[in-house]
Amino acid sequence: MNKLLSADRIGGLIWFVFGAAVVYGSWMMDRLESLGIPPSTAPGVVPGLLGIGIIIFGLVLILRREAASQTAFADAAPTDDAMPAGEAAASAGDFHWKRGALSWLLCVTYGGVLLGGGLPYWLLTAAFLFLHLMLLDESTDVPARPNTRRLTTAAIIAPAFATAVMLVFQYIFLVRLP
């Protein structure tokens, strides 16, 4: 593939433009100065910081060297001769679409349907993270086959991260989540 048009560079450019739009939008938000709101708590601060982070990671994708990563991937990837025909076809891209579609479905269900619908934030977020960890992994199965290790890991990580996010919003950003 042409080095200038690699998927990482195109994706990085898209993320960079999106991040720039977020920063611009946050800069244009009302700062509520007429209400005596301090600049550090203006509504656009958090989106602006997130936009800057998106820009930085977009630049990382655009500017990173691909030669080393492609040779490392080529050395580690099995050849098509070593794989059965079904696995070679699955590794060619079909598997990634299933994983992306399942992740998209989980995200839309969580953020678009359930969030704010009456369930406590911490419970809904823990369930979302648990399902993501259980269903999406590095195996060739989508959804993944559950095993004891994955179940234990998901049962520890999901509520811990849901609680951490809730506490950060509650005590640092001073926002009570539903």
List, for residues 7-59, the tens digit of each pLDDT value.
Answer: 788 888 999 999 999 999 999 988 787 788 777 777 888 899 999 999 999 99
What's residue 79's pLDDT?
52
> Both tokens of residue 116?
């704010």
Give residue 136's identity as a one-letter amino acid code: L
Name the average pLDDT for the chain: 79
Residue-by-residue DSSP string for 40-64: GG-TTHHHHHHHHHHHHHHHHHHHS
Rounded to an integer, what distance in angstroms lies between the CA atom of residue 70 and that of residue 68?
Answer: 6
* Amino acid 90: pLDDT: 46
Which pTM was predicted? Answer: 0.54
Give the confidence band of 162 by pLDDT, cuts at 50, 70, 90: very high
pLDDT tens digit string along 87-97? 544 444 445 67
Res 85: pLDDT? 47
